[in-house]
Amino acid sequence: MREILGRRRKHSLQRRGRSVLLNAVVTYAGEWKWRVVPGVGYDDRGGTWRAGDEQMCACPRPNCPVPGAHPLDPGLLAATRDPRMVRWWWTRRPDAPVVLATGDQVSAASLPAAAGELALSALDKLGFRLGPVIATPTRYVFLVAPYTLPELGELLDSQDWVPTSLRYHGDGGYVPLPGAAMDAGQPRWVREPAPGAGGSAPWLPGIGTLVEALVRAGRTAPDGDRLTY
């Protein structure tokens, strides 16, 4: 009897988590006008994920650089803000991660998690107003207003050295977004989105107000070529 009740509770939690995820996706697309697409997800054939484990991507690549947190089918070009489309996608794949296509309404910069915590602390001490910040198991993602490559290039040109551990996600890029956040290893908000003008999409800072702190913090992290969201 206890086993049956345990299964029922587990299934109830799964349904609740999927409802929260769907509501989050509809908010991103329909209310905030952010373009989203389902992520490929993880290969769970190896069993339950535990903190410290490396999750394997469900895509066919044996050494995927961004396991689980990238589009596959449909691809990034299909990203949409149409709530009807996202409802259809997440009804078919209720556990799919949420991937944000950057460069349109919102862009981002990301750092390895330890460096991201340093940057967040430094920006707080300086009194800078931050927009939404996301923590994944391995990285911190700072959401910012859209920027152009010339604008970014001018900002980085003023720095003596820019670590490659600091990544920029503009036009043609993508980052994961929090969904249900029911399980360990899922993206979560470190700084919750705050309403912007008119109470619609969240307020976003310009990249120029954050770049120096991000560069300084990024110098504490080893360079690498694996994003591992």
Interior CA angle at 186 toward 172 and 141, to 5°? 45
Domain count of the fold of the chain: 1
- Give a yes or no: residue 226 inside a domain: no
CA–CA separation, 220 and 109 (whole Å): 16
The pLDDT, as a whole number, for residue 157 is 87
Q: Is residue 225 part of a domain?
A: no
- The stretch 95-124 carries a mean pLDDT of 93
Q: Answer yes or no: is 188 within a domain.
A: yes
Within a domain: 30: yes
Residue scoring higher pLDDT (1 or 62): 62
Residue 15, pLDDT above cutoff 90: no
**Tens digit of each residue's pLDDT (9 = 90 or more) over 29-51:** 999 999 999 998 887 654 333 44
Cα angle, residue 105 at apex, residues 76 and 149 outer, rounded to 5°: 80
Residue environment code for 53-75, b if the CB has 16+ CB neighbours within 10 A, otherwise e: eebbbbbeeeebebbbbbbbeee
Q: Is the pLDDT of residue 21 over 70?
A: yes
pLDDT of residue 61: 84
What pLDDT is recorded for position 153? 86
Asked, for residue 211, whether it belongs to a domain, the answer is yes
Mean per-residue pLDDT for 18-37? 91
Which residues does 225 contact at the CB level (< 8 Å), separation at least 6? 65, 164
More confident residue, 190 or 223: 190
Helix (H, G, I), strand (E, B) or coil at 189: strand
For residue 224, being part of any structural domain is answered with: no
The 3-state DSSP class for residue 78 equals: helix
229 occurs within a structural domain: no
The answer to whether the beta carbons of residues 163 and 215 sit under 8 Å apart is yes
Q: Which residue has the tokens 């504490």?
A: 220
Asked whether residue 23 is assigned to any structural domain, the reply reads: yes
193 touches 202 (CB < 8 A) = yes
Confidence of residue 6 (pLDDT cuts 50, 70, 90): very low
Name residue 143's beta-bridge partners: 108
Model's pTM, two decimal places? 0.84
Q: What local confidence, expressed as pLDDT, does residue 182 receive? A: 52
Domain that holds residue 49: 2-218
The model's pLDDT over 144-163, given as tens digits with 9 standing for 90+, comes to 999 988 888 888 888 888 88
Confidence of residue 183 (pLDDT cuts 50, 70, 90): low
Has residue 197 got a pLDDT over 70?
no
Instruction: Please compute, for residue 152, the number of CA atoms within 13 A of its CA located in the half-sphere on the CB side.
Output: 19
